[in-house]
Chain A
Amino acid sequence: MRFILLVLLQIFIFNKINLFEFVNPQVYIIFIILLPFNLSHAWVMLLSFLLGLSLDFFDDTGGMHAAACVFAAYIRPFLLRFAFGISYELNTLKFNQTPVTQRLSYIGLVILTHHFVLYLLEYFNLERMLDVLEKTIYSSILTFLFIILITLIFKSKKT
């Protein structure tokens, strides 16, 4: 359910932002970020692949979103371990109870890897690395802001 909602939101709201004509937040990856931490790695990857592919269909981007999502999902456990350290390994992690800095660094890292792979595949050309980096950085900042906003809104609802 959250899956379909996010795809539609992405297509009809966030893809129309086009700040400075090329910066688009990819807010839909909040789905990958917030998937339950105890869900098996294989499931995370499969769901991310489907999410990416459905965006590709709407966005006419071939398999770029899918590739970027699968990549982000694949390294998610490593990023989780890096960001939260021991509490992740003990399987006691609750997203809303983690320290803010750790949570922010986790979100930021997922966004950066996802966006980098996405734009790398979009340009498909190492000569244009600068464009790729530029687009990655600007879009990441925007995505980051939106995702933080969304997590804050939903957090306040729960308490």
Chain B
Amino acid sequence: MPTGSTPAIDPVPRRATRRRNAERLAPYVLVAPAVLVVVVLRLYPLVLGVNFSFTGDGDSDGTAVGLDNYVTLMGDPLFVGALRNVGLLVALLPVAVAIPGLLATFIYLRVPGHRIFRSVYFFPAVLSPVIVGAIFTLLLAFDGPLNALLGSVGLGPVDWLGDPDVAIFMVVGVHVWATFGMALVVFLAGFATLDTSLLDAARIDGAALPRIIWHVIVPGLSRTIQFVFVTTMIGMLTSMFGLLYVMTSGGPGGATYLPEYYIWIQQGQLNRPALASAAATVLFLVMVVVGLLQVSVLRRSGRED
């Protein structure tokens, strides 16, 4: 890769040539800081991390241990639980995409109050997962307001964040509450590019809304839907740390572990960076596979239409 320094070869440089040289190098100078940062702090660490996952922790720091870390991971109920939770997220993904999609459809069709809905729905998206998590920890506490409300209508208290079968759904639900506005805005931008003549034709024919959605809107927005699927999945796999950290700390009994939380615990708390690197490599592979699968599935279903 060319560098930004200009070699001073000519002892009596003519200004014109010098300037031309400088001009030729100028684009490289403009990108140099960005390339330096991205390569040193984003791409190189990826290589380093994958390498690192094949070495040992503690006493065997730096020595090659082959696949030992991966074997350890697969034998760790916390990590296996984290992967099972990823499966759950994938299963819930269509719901997390359909909710903003449907709401965007109604807003696009101008239900009464659509302007207000649009900006109100988006607002939790600007709040940090830490803030959102803290607020819902308050609301969902065992002796908190939600249970007080349920108690007043005679329903028994639910340990929203303390029951292993309930907690993960609560965390995912709060994540969806906080982020559906982002996907909604993306859907609305997609609607702006939708060919309205088909929509009008379907309406004149008196087609029912579900048919319009399925036969006109879904095919027309296939690219947007694909984008939302991928970004929602990435969001679920990489931006729930704040919620987990504040709401459950991975508990109860590891029931709300996700790979990103596992990586953090191994690296930050238990000082097992090599094991954490192996978990990170698995997370990366999961993301690549899920991303490719979704793109190919959606592409195929798009072709059938």
Co-complex (A, B): no
